[in-house]
Structure 1
Amino acid sequence: MRFLTRGLIGLVLLAIMASTIGYGVYRVSTAMNQEEARRRPPVQERTYAVNVSSLTSETVAPITTAYGQVESWRSLEIRASSEGQLVGVASKFRDGAAVKGGELLVRIDPADAQSELLDAQAAQADAEAHKAEAEEAIVVAEQELVAAEKQLELRRQALDRQTQLREKGYSTMVQVEQEQLSVAALEQALSNRLQSVITSRKNVERMELGVARARIAVQDAERTLEETTITAPFSGTLDQVNATLGRRVSSSETLAVLIDPTALEVKFSVSTQQFSRFLDDAGRLIQVPVEAQLDLGDRVVSVPGTLDRAAAVVATGEAGRTLFASLDVDADTPLRPGDFLTVKLEEPALENVAVIPASAASEDGRILVVDEERRLGAAQARVLRRMGDQLVVTDVPFGQLYVRERLPHLSAGLKVTPRVVGTPGEAPEAAETSQGGPKPASGPAAPEDLVTLEPERRDALIARLSESRMPEERKARLINILNQPKVPSEVLERIENGRGRGERS
C-alpha cells in the first residue's frame, strides 16, 4: 500500500515537472517570436515607380520618311555647231563654275563660216540678177505679143477687103488665098508670142525660188557664223567641261553640260502602303508639303518642296512607287544633282489619335494603363503610324494614364507609384495624392513622404549603397539624398528593397 502511494506521488511530481518545463518552453518561444516580430517591419506590397503620361486625343499630321536622290529637270548639252579650232575659251568655262545667261563661253574660228557666208551672199546676188533679167524678158515678150495682135488684126481687115472685092469681081481667088495664108501665119506667130510670155513668167517664178533659196543659204551661213560664238542660254552651273584653247572640235561635239541649280527635284521610293496615304478619294496624287534634308556632318540643310508626281511605270522587280518632289531652291543652294537626301512628307491629318513613345507599346500595340487604385491594367491600341521613336495610336482610353516605358518586370495587376511626365526633357516627379490619384508633376512633395532618419539607420543605408554595384554617379546622388535632414520615403523603400539601381532623382 505504501509502495502504491509513493508511486502515485512520484507520477504526480513527474507530471508537475513536465508541465512546468513545457510552460517554460512555451513562454520562451512566445517571447522570442514577439521579439522577432517586433524587430521585423511589417510586410508591405511591393510597388514600382513608373513614368506615366495622359492619353490625350489630338489631331496629328504624321510624317513619312523616305530617302532619295537629287536630279535636275533642266539641263543642256553645249555642243559645237560646226567644225573648227577653238580660238577663245572663257575663264569661267570650268567644271563647277557658275555662269549667267548670255555670257560668252567659247569661240570657234569663224574663217570657214565667213567664207560660206560670202559664197551664200554671192549666190543670192546672182539669183537676184537672173530674176531681174527674167522680169525684163517678160516685159519684152508682152510687147511683142501686143504687136503681133495688132498685125493679126490688120491682116484680118485686109482679108475682109479682098473677100468683098472678089465678090464684086475686082479681085481674084489667088489674092484672097494669099491674104488667108498671111492671117494664118500671123495667128501662128501670135501663139508663139503668147507661149514666150508664159515661159517668161515661169522663169520669173523660178528665179524667185532661186532667190529664196539663196536667202535661206545666207541665213544659214549667218547663223553658222553666229554659232561660232557659244554663249550660255540660261544661268547655271557647268559640268563635264571638255574644251581647251587651240583644240579642233567636230560638229555636234559635246563641250560641256549646263545645269540649272534652281530646277532641282528629288526622286525617292515609298512602299505601296505609304503611297496609298497620298491619294485622294479619286485615286489622284495629292500635293503635300515636303521637307528634304541634306546631312553635311555638323550641319543639316533643310529645303522645302512639294510632292509633284509619280513615275510613269514600275520597274521590274521594284516594290512600291517612285515619286518626284520639286524643291524650292535658289541659285545659291548647296544642293547638287546626285546628293542623297532624307525626305519627310507630311501626310493628311489624322483625328482623334494619341502620340505615345514607341517604348510604351508592345509589337502588337498593347499598352499598360494605371487605374484609380494605382494598379496596372492592359489596353489594346491600334497603331496607325510609326514615326521614329513615337507611335500614333487610336482606340485607346483617352484621359487615362499610361506607362511610357514598358519594362519586362511590369505586368497587369501590379501596384505602381506614377510619375507624370510632361514635355520632353521635364523631370518626372511623384504623381500621387492622399487619395491615391495623380497630382501635377510640378507640385511639391507631400510632408508625409519625407522621413527623418536616425543616424544608425542612415549609416547602415549609406554602407549598403557603398557596397552595391550601381553606377558611381547614381550612387553619389543617392548618398547625397540620404545626408539630407529629411529623406523621401520612396527612396528609402527602394534602397531597402534592393532597387536603388533604378532610382531616378
Structure 2
Amino acid sequence: MKQIFLVFIVLMIGVGGYFFLIKSSPSVSERLTIEKEWVVDTVRVAKIDSQPTLHLSGKIVAAREADLRPLVEGRIIEIGDNFHEGGLVSRGEILIAIDPFNFKASLTDSEAALSENRSSREEILVQIRKNEALSETYKKQEELRKLELERRVTLSGEGIISKKANDESNFAYLSSRQLRISNDYETQRLKAKIKRLDASILRSEVRVDIAKRNLNETILRAPFDGVLTNISVGIGKWVNSRDYVAQIIDNINLEVLFHMSDEQYGRITSLGELNGRPAMVVWSSGVNTIELKATLNRAEGEFDAASGGVWVYASVHPNGKLKDLRPGAFVQTKTPDIVYPNSFRVIESAIYSDDTVYLFNNGRLEERVIKVVARDGEHLIITGEVQDGDLIVTTRIPEVAPGLKVRTKLE
C-alpha cells in the first residue's frame, strides 16, 4: 500500500511540472502569411470571323475495282510481265494468254461455212438470171405459137388445112406455155432459196463474229490503269470463265472515305450542298508527308447509328504522287468548317471546365464565362464574356480562382 502511494505522488509531481512549464513558457509571436504569386503566360485575343478547319481521320479507297476472270476456257500459255502481286498495269496491257488453237480452228471453220453459203447464193443467183433471161424467150415463143394456132384455127374452119395440123399447132402452143410456167415457178423457188441462204449467211456471219471475239478474248487485258492483287493463277493452269484470276484496283482515281459527326455534317450542309467543297488529304508515309487536293462529292445514304455520324467520300485530284498511294492507307482529311462571326481563337489550355477562361487584370485573375463553339486543331473557337484585346491566361494553374495573384513572364 505504501508503494502505491509513492507511485501516485511521483505521477502528481510529473503532471504538475508539465503544466508549470507550459504556463511559464514565453509567447511565440504570430507568423506573417505571405501570398503566393503565380507566373503565367497570356495571349491578347482579337475578335474576328473565324473559320476553323475540320480534321477528320479516314482511309483511301479505290473509286473502282474489278475481279478479273477469263473470258474463255482454256490453258494459260503466257502471263504478262507485270502480272504479279502489286504489279502496276496500264489499260489494255496483256495479263494472261490462253491457248488459241481451238479458237483459231473454230474461226476457220466458221469462215469456211460462210464462204460456202455465199458461194451457193451466188450460184443460185446465176441460175435465177438465166431463168429470167429464158423467161423472155419462152414468153415470145408462146406468143408466136399462139398466133400460129389462131391462124390455123381460122384456116381449118375454111377447110384449107387439116385438123391434124391444127392439133399439132395447139400442142406446140401448150408446150411453150408449160415451159414458160415451169421456168417462172423454178425462178420463184430459187428466189425463196436465196432468202433461206441469206438467213444461213447471217447465222454464219454471227458465228464468225463470235469466233473472232472468242479468239481475241483468249488474251485477258487490263480494263483500266491500276495495281494487281490477289493473283491466283500461273502458266499451265486450266481456267474457265468462272475462275477468279486476280483483282485490279484503280490507283489513279482514288477517293477518301472519312467520318463526320452528326453535328459536323449538319453545320457543313447548312451552307448548301456537300458536293464540291474543297478538302486537303494528308498522307504520312514514313518520314515524308504528302498533301493532295480533293473535293467532297457524296455522303452515304444513311447515318451510322453506331458511330453517330455519316461516312463521306472525297475524290482525290489526279497527281503524280498517287503512284505510291494505295487503297487502305490511313490519311487525315482537312476541310473548312463554317464561319463563326465575332469569335475568339485561343489554345485549349486556356479553357477551364469547358466554359471558363481567366483574364489577367492588374496582377489578378478575373473569371469569364465563355462557350466553345468549335475546335481548330490545338485551338478552340470561343464566344462569350470576352472583349477585343483582353489578356487571357493560357498557363494551367492547379489552384485557379478569381482574384489569384499572378504576373506574366515578361514582368
TM-score range, shorter chain: 0.7 to 0.9
Q: Contact (CA 8 Å) 1:82, 1:252: kept in 2 or not?
A: no
| Partner of residue 469, structure 1 | none
| Partner of residue 309, structure 1 | 298
| Partner of residue 347, structure 2 | 357
Aligned counterparts of 1:314 and 1:168: Cα–Cα separation in 2: 113
Q: Contact (CA 8 Å) 1:166, 1:173: kept in 2 or not?
A: yes
Aligned counterparts of 2:399 and 2:305: Cα–Cα separation in 1: 48
Q: Give the secondary-structure state (helix, strand or coil) at the position aligned to 1:254.
A: coil
Aligned counterparts of 1:89 and 1:157: Cα–Cα separation in 2: 83
Aligned counterparts, 1:200-211, within 5 A: 200-211=190-201
- 1:106 equivalent in alignment to 2:87: no
**Cα 1:46–1:256 shift into 2, 3 Å:** closer
How far the C-alpha of 1:141 sits from its partner, in A, is 2.6
| Partner of residue 366, structure 2 | 377
| Partner of residue 328, structure 2 | 338
- 1:429 equivalent in alignment to 2:401: no
| Partner of residue 121, structure 2 | 131
Aligned counterparts of 2:154 and 2:369: Cα–Cα separation in 1: 132
| Partner of residue 493, structure 1 | none
| Partner of residue 212, structure 1 | 202
**Of 57, 63, 81, which residue of structure 2 is paired with 1:73?**
63
Aligned counterparts of 2:220 and 2:89: Cα–Cα separation in 1: 13
Bigger radius of gyration: 1
Structure 1 residues 99-153: Cα deviation after superposition (integer angstroms, max 9, x where no partner): 3444433222221112112211211221111111121122123123323332343
**Cα 1:64–1:187 shift into 2, 3 Å:** farther
Q: Give the secondary-structure state (helix, strand or coil) at the position aligned to 1:268.
A: strand
| Partner of residue 278, structure 1 | 268
Aligned counterparts of 2:87 and 2:122: Cα–Cα separation in 1: 55
| Partner of residue 468, structure 1 | none
Amino acid at match of 2:376: M
Aligned counterparts, 1:81-230, within 5 A: 81-158=71-148, 161=151, 190=180, 192-230=182-220
Amino acid at match of 1:79: R
**Cα 1:296–1:151 shift into 2, 3 Å:** same
Aligned counterparts, 1:484-503, within 5 A: none
Amino acid at match of 2:370: A
Q: Give the secondary-structure state (helix, strand or coil) at the position aligned to 1:278.
A: helix
Q: Contact (CA 8 Å) 1:369, 1:376: kept in 2 or not?
A: yes
Structure 1 residues 466-496: Cα deviation after superposition (integer angstroms, max 9, x where no partner): xxxxxxxxxxxxxxxxxxxxxxxxxxxxxxx
- When normalised by structure 2's length, the TM-score is 0.79
Aligned counterparts of 1:363 and 1:137: Cα–Cα separation in 2: 105
Q: Contact (CA 8 Å) 1:89, 1:243: kept in 2 or not?
A: no
Structure 1 residues 314-358: Cα deviation after superposition (integer angstroms, max 9, x where no partner): 467663211111123436543211223232222244343211122
| Partner of residue 238, structure 1 | 228
**Cα 1:149–1:363 shift into 2, 3 Å:** farther
With 381-390 and 294-303 compared, the bigger mean Cα shift is at: 294-303
**Of 263, 278, 288, which residue of structure 1 is paired with 2:277?**
288
- When normalised by structure 1's length, the TM-score is 0.65
Q: Give the secondary-structure state (helix, strand or coil) at the position aligned to 2:245.
A: strand
Aligned counterparts of 1:331 and 1:239: Cα–Cα separation in 2: 20
Q: How many residues align?
A: 383
- 1:347 equivalent in alignment to 2:337: yes
With 308-317 and 120-129 compared, the bigger mean Cα shift is at: 308-317
Aligned counterparts of 1:138 and 1:315: Cα–Cα separation in 2: 76
CA RMSD between the two structures? 3.6
Q: Contact (CA 8 Å) 1:262, 1:331: kept in 2 or not?
A: no
How far the C-alpha of 1:304 sits from its partner, in A, is 3.0
**Cα 1:169–1:380 shift into 2, 3 Å:** farther
| Partner of residue 11, structure 2 | none
- What are structure 2's unaligned runs of at least 5 residues? 1-25
Aligned counterparts of 1:348 and 1:176: Cα–Cα separation in 2: 115
**Of 259, 263, 278, which residue of structure 1 is paired with 2:253?**
263
Aligned counterparts of 2:146 and 2:341: Cα–Cα separation in 1: 108
Aligned counterparts of 1:138 and 1:147: Cα–Cα separation in 2: 14
Aligned counterparts of 1:348 and 1:171: Cα–Cα separation in 2: 122
Aligned counterparts of 1:262 and 1:403: Cα–Cα separation in 2: 49
Aligned counterparts, 1:58-69, within 5 A: 58-69=48-59
Aligned counterparts of 1:124 and 1:196: Cα–Cα separation in 2: 25
Q: Give the secondary-structure state (helix, strand or coil) at the position aligned to 2:380.
A: strand
- What are structure 1's unaligned runs of at least 5 residues? 1-31, 420-427, 431-505
**Of 367, 370, 392, which residue of structure 1 is paired with 2:381?**
392
Aligned counterparts of 1:413 and 1:180: Cα–Cα separation in 2: 145
| Partner of residue 394, structure 2 | 404
**Cα 1:355–1:151 shift into 2, 3 Å:** same
Greater RCO, 1 or 2 (C-alpha within 8 Å, sep 6+): 2
